[in-house]
Structure 1
Amino acid sequence: MQIIVGDRQRAMGVGGAMPHFYFHVSNGTGFVRDEEGRELADVGEARERALHDIRSILSEEIKGGVVDLRGRLDVADGSGNVIVAIPFEEAVELHVEDAVPPTGDDGREGP
């Protein structure tokens, strides 16, 4: 479930400046607060950046052989209010039901 609070205008910076967003991660290794944040055009761009960040985290997990989809990335505005929350499982599409059946050493389906 993605949660978007407010609208794009509310997230705009003061005087037309680009708004600042913070990307906080909660997952199996704990909670990581983004202390620096990023200036982005709007909430939509922040959401896309959050999806990219989640996919980057998961790609590193894949290299280690274990993927934990129980995490979440919260996007907060400059006041610290969470305006978008994206569970890791919503950042990827998994296809497992149609997995290719295992083959034997001779290339035939099997055991």
Structure 2
Amino acid sequence: MQFIVPPSPLKLIVGDVVVLAMQPDEEIRVQTFYLHIHNGHGDAEADEPIQVRTLAAAKEHAISGIRELLAAEVLNGVMDMTGYIEIADSRGVSVLRVPFVEAVQITCKT
């Protein structure tokens, strides 16, 4: 008997949870989240969701995104720390707010 392994995981959506199966006896549950940016430049609603296993993983994505935004601002000589990323679930309900100030540690000596 020969088994053919699919080139990508099998995907099954169950409510708000996506189940990925690499093998028949293996599943990885992932959730869908949207990362919405709110800062001094305005509000940017996410067009595309991210799919991660936990809310903590979604927060890590948000922190990475904040660091990228702040790095671009620093190149222009500005850093607006008043913003935040709102994490919403697949239904659009806000589940976590990640302030920009949580993404970096700033030390200043004069």
User: Which TM-score band applies after superposition, normalised by the shorter structure?
Assistant: 0.7 to 0.9
SS of residue paired to 2:30: coil
> Please, what TM-score do these two structures have when normalized by structure 2?
0.73
TM-superposition CA deviations, 1:28-76 (whole Å, max 9, x none): 1100000211111110100111100000100000111100001010011
Instruction: Give, in whole Å, the separation in 1 of the partners of 2:84 and 2:17.
Output: 25
Aligned to 2:6: none
Q: Check if 1:13 corresponds to 2:17.
A: yes
Q: Matches of residues 14-93 of structure 1 in structure 2 within 5 Å?
A: 17-93=29-105
Structure with more strand by fraction: 2
Q: Please identify runs of 4+ aligned residues in structure 1 that moved more than 2 A.
A: 14-17
1:27 and 1:55 mapped to 2: Cα distance? 13
Structure 2 counterpart SS, 1:66: coil
Q: Identity percentage over the alignment?
A: 31
User: Partner of 2:47: helix, strand, or coil?
Assistant: coil
Structure 2 spans left out of the alignment, 5+ residues: 1-15, 20-27
SS in 1 for 2:38: strand
* Superposed displacement of residue 87, structure 1: 0.9
Give the C-alpha shift of residue 17 in structure 1. Answer: 4.4
Paired AA for residue 24 in structure 1: H
Gaps of 5+ in 1: 1-11, 100-111
Bigger helix fraction: 1
* Partner SS state of residue 48, structure 1: helix
Could you say what the CA RMSD is over the residues aligned between the two structures, in angstroms? Answer: 1.6
Q: 1:78 to 1:25 in 2, by over 3 A?
A: same
